[in-house]
Structure 1
């Protein structure tokens, strides 16, 4: 089963105040955090410097959690979300096998190992998902999502990550909210197509990760009335979707 998705930091006080949590958690091995790393870990840390966990042992995630962020601190991410991180992050390579003893008769060749399930990663190019200042999916955006959903039947789905983006026109706070709404619109559409809601993780990056680079500079004033600039920044108004699972 997929581990519990992101929990808001405001749950820290609730966890600390729940008597049942302490008694149940005592049977679960603590995940201690180096004090120097506290500010760089996407999990809730309690007053003891230990990752806060539910009564069933699930780690509480912060609103900044992503698989990549968790993989950047493997000593914690692997303890909490090993199933969602790349295998080479959490598993040490197996030791080399000892040489086989010599035999009078040559040993029969070992059968070829079965191929390991390969991670099926799909990144949706979504440069035409949204109109300027809108969080409503365009028809061509829906078509691209439908194409991605059609591939789900060939994998064992673990999680879908939808990250919303906005162009640079407007205030930072407004664009952050707009990017979150765009990601939420994609999640709603995916759920409407039969994807379990608890398997879709969303976040917004605001205007911080443009893909247009310097191509839209020197096009006049930074304002919504500048149609040439608005058209040039279209690729930045997007939601990137990553589907993570294993090939069947």
Structure 2
């Protein structure tokens, strides 16, 4: 009897140690997070008729899945959330074409015979006159003008007052025609110079027959066009 008791006392620490070890092991196991599922009064999962399927509540998310109920979800590859598409890049706007370089034009004086433009004692342009001015308009195209001065001159035949008016009518006719061909009206001015600044001297054309005097003074009857401005450089 005494021997049995001694054996019992020798086994008691071993049993107690096993019990302590088992209780310690159970304490280390982590209980599953059941917040996403319905549980019964005993704390067990409430499931459907299909094994391994539990009823979820409104708090359930894939992050709350547990092995007894959603082993398939837990074994699946993680869901990759696609990166947001980059914002559309507005295409770069093309730079406006560079303005053409302008070069200064040397001041020019063009001398037109009034007899070729109008005929003697006339201020209406004739066919030859319009053809001459068409050529001038082409030459002036593509230019920016600081100033275009059109000056009309007559000979000394007739009164000074008459010649003044006639020269102004001729200068105005020329400037109006150039404007009709594209010259800016803001840059062109017309002047009547009358019989001033003759190109002939009195000794060059002495008195005599009228026809001879008219022919001799032909150089004085003229229209001068002074041009100054800039023109696009040719590349």
User: Which one has the bigger helix percentage?
Assistant: 2
User: Which one has the bigger strand percentage?
Assistant: 2
Name the larger-Rg structure.
2
Q: TM-score, normalised by structure 1?
A: 0.48
